[in-house]
């Protein structure tokens, strides 16, 4: 492996949150999906993140989801709970609830909408990290939050004993390398097109939306790299690119495309919650073609 610092594993899935056709939380479906993901190559699961539709699930649903997935996977894979909100007090409450529910770690997104300056961001992450005994992954996704976690801020946050990782959706590859070179933070690619590239320069792995549908195929990329088969790793990453593009760069959120594909495959997913809307037939057919091309290759 390119790094021995893997606090949560290396091939993590940003798991969807299955709902029933009536829109209720589908805990049995979540357990079946989690079991499949771990069996097919995910060595960690992230719940209630962007792909998990966290803005539209209640605090109670988030805790129930952690308990159900923890029960399903047992000790086979770490379970991270997404607890980030735009409110520090609320985020602390969710962190403490996730710890009680059995989570192994926390994914904490930068507070969104209010665009806090860097000193306020740093204080936010430190307060959340101080609120429980769980390790924390900072989630940097400025395209959604409107607030970048700057490299200097990450360097300071790395001094906190429980801030151990970054989910990087900054699209700033140079900044990621600078922080990795100067800290022990574990870096996870949060954009599937960067899975191999970040890993090759010292990243820990990925937290992937696409792995909801193709966990074994994405893991094979990192397995090939670890085996020294770098050209094969590149080929496998390129082979997955059409599905990555269809799921992540076709104008629909990843939660929408992942659920559309999983529903077509007969796997637990169900509808998305408003304001999101389901993928149309044309988009769904395109997703299915890209998926079949990948898994049948």
Q: Which of 140, 156, 137 is nearest to 148 (CA)?
A: 140
Count of Cβ atoms closer than 10 Å to residue 216 Cβ: 15
Which residues does residue 106 pair with via DSSP β-bridges, in sequence order? Answer: 81, 136
CB 254 within 8 A of CB 287: no
Tokens 């997935």 label which residue?
69
Q: How many helices (H) and strands (E) does the chain have?
A: 12, 8
CA dist., res. 267 & res. 259, Å (int): 9
Strands 44-47 and 205-208 come out as: unpaired
CA dist., res. 208 & res. 33, Å (int): 15
CA dist., res. 31 & res. 68, Å (int): 6
Q: Which of 257, 276, 201, 183 is nearest to 14 (CA)?
A: 257
Question: Which residues does the annotation mark as catalytic?
Answer: 139, 167
CA dist., res. 39 & res. 221, Å (int): 17
What is the enclosing helix (H) or strand (E) of 167?
A: strand 163-168
CA dist., res. 289 & res. 219, Å (int): 21
Which residues fall within 8 angstroms of residue 258, CB to CB, at 6 or more apart? 16, 51, 209, 210, 212, 213, 247, 269
């Amino acid at each position: 492996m390119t790094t021995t610092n893997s606090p949560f594993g290396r091939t993590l899935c940003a798991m969807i949150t299955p709902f029933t056709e009536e829109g209720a939380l589908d805990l049995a479906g979540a357990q079946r999906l989690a079991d499949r993901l771990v069996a097919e190559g995910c060595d960690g699961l992230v719940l209630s993140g962007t792909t998990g539709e966290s803005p539209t699930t209640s605090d109670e649903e988030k805790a129930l989801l952690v308990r159900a997935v923890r029960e399903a996977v047992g000790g086979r894979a770490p379970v991270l709970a997404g607890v980030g909100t735009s409110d520090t007090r609320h985020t602390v409450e969710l962190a403490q609830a996730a710890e009680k529910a059995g989570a192994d770690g926390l994914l904490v997104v930068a507070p969104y909408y209010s665009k806090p300056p860097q000193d306020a961001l740093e204080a936010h992450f430190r307060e959340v990290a101080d609120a429980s005994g769980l390790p924390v992954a900072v989630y940097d996704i400025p395209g959604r939050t409107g607030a970048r976690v700057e490299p200097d801020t990450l360097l300071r946050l790395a001094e906190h004993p429980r801030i151990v990782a970054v989910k990087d959706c900054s699209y700033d590859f140079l900044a990621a390398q600078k922080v990795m070179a100067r800290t022990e933070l574990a870096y996870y690619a949060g954009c599937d097109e960067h899975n191999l590239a970040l890993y090759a320069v010292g990243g820990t792995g990925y937290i992937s939306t696409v792995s909801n549908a193709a966990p074994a195929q994405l893991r094979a990329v990192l397995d090939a790299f670890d085996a020294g088969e770098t050209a094969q790793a590149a080929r496998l990453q390129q082979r997955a690119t059409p599905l990555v593009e269809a799921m992540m760069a076709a104008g629909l959120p990843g939660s929408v495309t992942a659920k559309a594909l999983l529903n077509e495959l007969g796997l637990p997913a169900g509808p998305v919650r408003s304001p999101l809307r389901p993928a149309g037939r044309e988009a769904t057919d395109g997703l299915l073609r890209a998926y079949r091309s990948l898994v049948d290759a």
